[in-house]
Structure 1
C-alpha cells in the first residue's frame, strides 16, 4: 500500500496509556467480537477494557449458541470500568437483547457516554455467516434508545437494510441510507461499503447531516473477512480516545481495517479472520 501505516502515539513503558472500553459479545473462535476489538486496541497502543454482553458458541462456520449475560451485570461492568479506570471512548458490538440495551442506555447516560465520552455504535445484527445475533424487538430498542446517543454509527449494508429498508446498490443509495440513518439520531453515520462486492473498490460514506465524505480503498479478493467491521470500529474508537476528530478517526479506522483485510488468513472450514497482526512486522 502506498499510504503510510495508521499511527497513534504509543505510550512509553510505565506510562498509563489511553483507554477504550468495548461492550460486546465474546467470539469463541477469536475472529470477531470482543476478541477482534481487543487485538486492534492493543496493537494501536491503547489499553482495552471489556464489558461482556454474551458468550457465543462460535467458530469459522457459524454460531451454534448464544448465552446472554444478565443486563444488570453488563451495566455493572461498564460502571466498574469507567468510575475507576476511566475511558477515552466506548465501542459497542453485539448487544443481545432489549434488556441489555435498556440497561446500557441508563448507565451510558449516568456516565456521560455519548455526551462527554465518544461512543462508536456498531449495530451488529448477524454473524458473517448470517446467524442472527439479536431479536427483532432488540433491533427496535437499539434504534430508539442508543442511536441517539451515538457519536458515530457504523452499519454495514446488511444492517442498513435491516434498519432502513434501503438496499444499497450504488453511491446514490448509499448516501440516501446515510441520510435516513442520521435522521435516527446519531451525530455521524458511516455507511460501510465492504459488502457491495460488485464494486472493484470498497467505499465507505461518512455523513454528519450536512456533508458527505467518501473513503475509498482497494478491495482485497478474500473470503477471510471475519471481524473487519470490529477492527474498523475499534481503531476509530482508539483515535477518538486520543482526541482526534470524527473524520480523522474514521480515516484511520478505514486504513487500519483495509490493512487488516489484506493480512487476513485462512482458519478452520469457513471464514477466516482479518488480522491486525501485520502491525507486528514493523
Structure 2
C-alpha cells in the first residue's frame, strides 16, 4: 500500500487537521502517517487554544517516520510557530531525493473563526518552504498574505498565483475561491518555464450551515492521489470531486459547523 504523510496540527473534533487527513487517506486507499505540529483546544464552533509542539519533538517525529515508512507523498498543514516551521524544513531535507516525493502545502494561517494558526514571524519561513512544493493550496486570504496581492478580482487572483509559482517557486498553485462572493471558482496555475498557465475551475456554492475542514480535506485528497502516482491536474480534479461529495454528505454533529461526510 502506498504511504501518505501529513504534517499538521491536531483537531480533537476529527473534522480537520491531522485527524481528518488520516481519514481522507484511508478512504482513498493509502496508508496515512502523521507528524503532530500543534495541539489545539477546539470544538466544532471555535478554536480555544493553540499549543505548538516542541520543535525538537516535531523533528524527531519526522525523522523516525522518514526512515521507517518513507512516504510516497507529503501534505503540510498548520505549523503554528516559526520554530516548528524551521524544524519541518530540516526534516524535509532528509527526504530521499531519488524518490522525488510530491509535497502539497496547505498554507494554513488561521482557523475558520479567525484564530491564528501560524505566528506572524513564521510567514517568511512558510514562503521559503513553497520552493519545495509540488502544489500549494491557499484560500484567497492566504494567497493575499503570501504574495501581497489584491485578490478581489480575477486578475488579482492570477497575479497572486503567478507570484506563488514564478517568484516563490511552487511548481503549481491551486487558489481556492470559496471566500469570493458569487461563484467560488478555483484557479490552478502551473509553472511553465518563466511563466505560468492559468486554468479556471468552476465551483459551486452549497447552501447550509458552515462546513469544517474543507481545505484540509482537499489538500489531503490531492496528496493521496499523488501518492498513488496520479498526474497533478488529474489529482486536483479528483480531490475537488472528493470534497464536493464530502460536502454533500456533511452532517451537524455538535456546534455551529457541519463535519464533512468522508466518501
Calculate the TM-score normalised by the size of structure 1.
0.87
In structure 2, relative to structure 1, the CA distance for the partners of 1:36 and 1:211 (3 Å cut) is: same
Once the two structures are overlaid, the 10-residue window that deviates more, 167-176 or 205-214, is 167-176
Equivalences, count: 258
In structure 2, relative to structure 1, the CA distance for the partners of 1:113 and 1:240 (3 Å cut) is: farther
Compute the displacement of 1:224 (Å).
Answer: 2.9
Compute the displacement of 1:101 (Å).
Answer: 1.1
Q: How does 1:50-65 map to 2 (within 5 A)?
A: 50-65=34-49
Q: Per the alignment, in what secondary structure is the counterpart of residue 123 of structure 2?
A: helix
2:144 to 135, 143, 161: 161
Find the counterpart in structure 1 of residue 201 from structure 2. Answer: 215
Find the counterpart in structure 2 of residue 174 from structure 1. Answer: 157
Q: Per the alignment, in what secondary structure is the counterpart of residue 9 of structure 2?
A: strand
1:231 to 211, 217, 232: 217
Find the counterpart in structure 1 of residue 238 from structure 2. Answer: 252
1:138 aligns with 2:122: yes
The answer to whether the 8 A contact 1:27-1:33 is kept is yes
1:204 aligns with 2:186: yes
User: Unpaired runs of 5+ in structure 1?
Assistant: 1-16
Partner deviation per Cα, 1:17-38 (whole Å, 9 max, x = no partner): 1110000000112211111111
Find the counterpart in structure 2 of residue 34 from structure 1. Answer: 18
The answer to whether the 8 A contact 1:114-1:149 is kept is no
Partner deviation per Cα, 1:187-236 (whole Å, 9 max, x = no partner): 1111011121x22x331111123211122232211333210011100010
Once the two structures are overlaid, the 10-residue window that deviates more, 236-245 or 208-217, is 208-217
**Partner Cα separation in structure 2 for residue 261 and residue 157 of structure 1:** 20
Compute the displacement of 1:243 (Å).
Answer: 1.0
Superposed CA RMSD in Å reads: 1.6
User: Unpaired runs of 5+ in structure 2?
Assistant: none
Compute the displacement of 1:158 (Å).
Answer: 1.5
Partner deviation per Cα, 1:97-139 (whole Å, 9 max, x = no partner): 1111111111111214797110000000111111111111011
The answer to whether the 8 A contact 1:125-1:134 is kept is yes
1:77 aligns with 2:64: no
**Partner Cα separation in structure 2 for residue 152 and residue 126 of structure 1:** 19
Find the counterpart in structure 2 of residue 192 from structure 1. Answer: 176
Q: Which runs of 4+ in 1 moved over 3 A?
A: 112-115
The answer to whether the 8 A contact 2:218-2:243 is kept is yes
Calculate the TM-score normalised by the size of structure 2.
0.93
The answer to whether the 8 A contact 2:40-2:50 is kept is yes
